[in-house]
Amino acid sequence: MHDTGAADAAVRRLPPPLRPMGRVGTWFDHHLYSFVASLGRVARRPWSTALTVGVMAVALALPLGLWLVLGNVTRFAGDVQQSREISIFLKPAVDVARARALAQALRVRGDIGRVQLRTPEQGLAELRASGLGDAVEAAGINPLPSVLIVSPKGDETLLVSSLQQLPDADLVQHDALWRKRLDGWLRFGTRIALVLGALLGLGALLVVGNTVRLDIQSRREEIAVLQHLGATDGFVRRPFLYLGAWYGLAAGALAIGLLTLAALALREPLAELAASYGSRFLLTGFDPTTAAGVVLGVTALGWLGAGLVTGHYLRQTRPTDS
């Protein structure tokens, strides 16, 4: 026998009589009720909710933080196109006019995407900016050559061999090994972030599922009465789905907030360190679109975890005709 309190609570949760809009209106009314009622259950248990949300947020912040670090490392090292650049140091006897003509000739080649000319004057200005200009000017002449910076379209190894045959080229510099190693480490780091994200996302799924399972156990008599009164599985499941979604939404927002605070705390000292190497690098966090996508994804994760647990429970407790 189920107690009177559970029966009364179950009756209160039954759908109201059909409105003029029919079943669609009743369906909408129950969604709205489940949305508000689940939020009320979360608010009535602040400490339990904070513990669940905190565990999920920390678990999600780890792979998200690694993903954020990899994005900043990629930006700090330069994008792939910049890391593929080939520097052609022309012979000292080659004047600027000849260097411009050579750059124009290279631009029409099919295996070259972009050619940038850096004149001796531009090179000297960069040295002045770095504090070495006085040492160069002490020699009385500008010893810097013209430099062509080439971005390849295809296989840069073949292009390097071709550029080394140019009569005006003194040195062709291309650190392909460094680029391959950097790309390899970035791919490895991305794979680690994906693996950690999958494992810790599964952990967050289990946390939501276990929390919803406990809530189901505390309301099992009410659920049993609803089932005997003819409530569908969707009707019974709906409040728990919204409960899991609320957990996911709060955990995703908290994870983004924690990573944003971490980025703000590290931005200034990292900027000072980068400035000591002549770089203007600034640590960046998630852009609004990415942050919103993360929060929505974690919300869907909470919904999924609640749906799996609730569905399993309802399959086990569905009344039979016997």
- Which of 173, 206, 223 is at the close of a domain? 173
Q: Which residues of the chain have pLDDT under 50?
A: 1-2, 4, 6-8, 10-11, 14, 18, 20, 79-81, 321-322
Could you tell me which of 265, 250, 319 has the C-alpha nearest to residue 60? 250
Please indicate, yes or no, if residue 30 is contained in any of the structural domains.
Answer: yes
Q: What pLDDT, in 10s, does the model give residues 288-312? A: 898 999 899 989 988 888 888 888 8
Q: Which of 173, 199, 218 is the last residue of a domain?
A: 173
Tell me the whole-structure pTM to 2 decimals: 0.60
Task: Check whether residue 73 and residue 143 sit in a common domain.
Answer: no
CATH number of the structural domain spanning residue 93: 3.30.70.3040
Q: Could you give the CA distance from residue 181 to residue 306 in angstroms, rounded to a whole number?
A: 43
What backbone phi and psi angles, to 5 degrees, belong to 219?
Answer: -120, 20
Integer angstrom CA distances of residue 261 from 85, 86, 286, 292 = 36, 39, 11, 17
Query: Do residues 224 and 302 both lie within one domain?
Result: yes
- Same domain (yes/no): 231, 149: no
Residue 322 lies in a domain: no
CA quadruple 127, 129, 132, 133: dihedral sign: positive
Residues 193, 61, single domain; the answer is yes
Please list, in sequence order, all residues whose beta carbon lies within 8 angstroms of the beta carbon of residue 175, skipping any fewer than 6 positions away: none
pLDDT in tens, 59-110: 888 888 888 887 777 776 554 445 567 888 888 888 888 888 888 888 888 8
Q: Which domain holds residue 189?
A: 4-79+181-317
Q: Are residues 42 and 191 in the same domain?
A: yes
* Sheet with 147-152: strands ordered across: 112-118, 147-152, 86-90, 169-173
Domain boundary among 142, 157, 173: 173
149, 207: one domain: no
